Structure 1
Amino acid sequence: MKHALLIVCAAGLLAACAGGGNSRYAMQHDSAPDDDFDASRIPDAVPRVEPRSRYGNPDSYVVNGRRYYVKSSSQGYVERGHASWYGKKFHGHRTSSGETYDMYAMTAAHKSLPLPTYAEVTNLENGKKIIVKVNDRGPFHPGRIIDLSYAAAKKLGMTGKGTAPVQVRAIDPRQPARPMQVKQQGTSSRYIAARMGRQVPEKSADTAQPAPASSYTNSEIFIQVGAFSSRDNAEQLRTRLDRQFNNLNVAAAFHDDTRLYRVRIGPLASREQADRLIERIILNGLGQPRLIID
């Protein structure tokens, strides 16, 4: 796991940050803290209006050869995917926002949300919810959408497994008690099954309310590889993927809300299968894959 604090730096720190993780961290591998503690006693982050970080919000940045784009606003953001956590290796080091990482605080890392952003994270396996302050960049492991501090992950009940399916919803600090009235990504859309020349309705998920723990078992897992305003471009990518993965369903999805054609593979049998396919897609330079759970 490598965070953008290694590459998003003030000019004076660029040389030190660009050198990689070997000289920056005393530990080679991450781990949980040595002492056990009751995470339920740690209060959630309290949303408040703050200025944007001077160093944590470039227009874009590159990690491991891939470019990431920072959102201009967190307004309306809600997404489902998988969360991971980071702990002792990074404790006490500077985050991408300039704050010091504290594995006992309720914070998180995200690839594209502006820093800082406050977000509600729901564990879709057990229904637990927390509120965190997003003040760092990451995770850069395929298929993960958020990296939680160890305390946040422990409070969410996911440290034993290491990852968990979650919903992440940005909170408006001006109205922290009021959920943003938004649609979950991937809703109000229709799939165009290009190879069959017919429309396939997408499973409806028009609510931003967290699903109960049991619903994740019945959810469908997809990999989104690209999004295009042009159907021709979407079809070209679909054709390339179809050749590479000819035993899987590859479709160009047109979304009414964004007016984009999104190219997806799936539904897939398991998260493990999705992770393996994401690695293959990246290695073959076929797109920018993301794990999608509907």
Structure 2
Amino acid sequence: MRCLWDCWPMRLTIKSGIAALLLSTGLFGAASAAPAQVADMPPAGEGPRGTSQAVLGAERYDAIGYAVPYDGGANPGAISAAHPTLPIGSFAEVTAIDSGKTILVVIAEQGLATPDRIIALSPGALQLLGRPEAAALGVRVRRVNPLGADQQALRDGRPASARIDAPAVLLAALRKRLPAPPRSVSTAMPRPPRASNAAVNLGAGAGYPVPGRAAAPSVRPATSRQGTGFFVQVAALSNGQRASDLANSLAGSVMAGGGLYRVRLGPFPDQASADRARADAVQRGFGDARIIHE
């Protein structure tokens, strides 16, 4: 009797062929071959986020280390922070690893340059975390994209909506990843003295400052370019000479304060003039240039 499709030799041949095909494509046994994922910390991007989400299209930032204080710049009460790489005007979620308290901050300055000190928080941000006197606070920092209302609140100097505290199981995992406290920071470390507004002369080199250490470059009296009106801030650096060189190349000035040296253009008499100067600075490569009104 001739075998067509339903006899057992043909069924065996078909099954063997299908199995060989699955093996060759790597699909056969994929589920059983996948190793169990064991980790003492959730993958980057997980954790207390409330209504905040990771920034689409942006490089993910998720770090564990220590937050230190800085003076908060022009508005110490704002819920702001200084960070070495996150763009000025972006947002981050900060979780205190000791308590689980979580807040949102706006990045208002650029600073810091050590692996353990990953962010500097304004007095307003430290107060909101319940640690106004903290010299070095263990934190997790994630770049996020808050709701529009929260973004506007932070830009206006107000707190964003309350966040959900981190759960105990997550905090236990985060504590295992927290490095030893910075050696040079003690619980009694004073806030760095606020430098008077001055133009400075300082030189290539040096990166961002370590909040809590006051820079001590030579300074010269403020120039006549200081005054009121509209300014365009193109950079905030920790090295005065580098800031001075940049200011000279742009025909700008340098303002010192809080351990940072802000390179500014102006003053300009009106918003329109400042807008044109900012657009020119952006074309020159200073994408984070912003307008300040004093």
> Aligning the two structures, in what range does the TM-score lie when normalised by the shorter sequence?
0.3 to 0.5
What TM-score does the superposition give when structure 2 sets the normalisation length? 0.34
Structure number with larger C-alpha Rg? 2
What TM-score does the superposition give when structure 1 sets the normalisation length? 0.34
- Which structure shows the higher helix fraction? 2
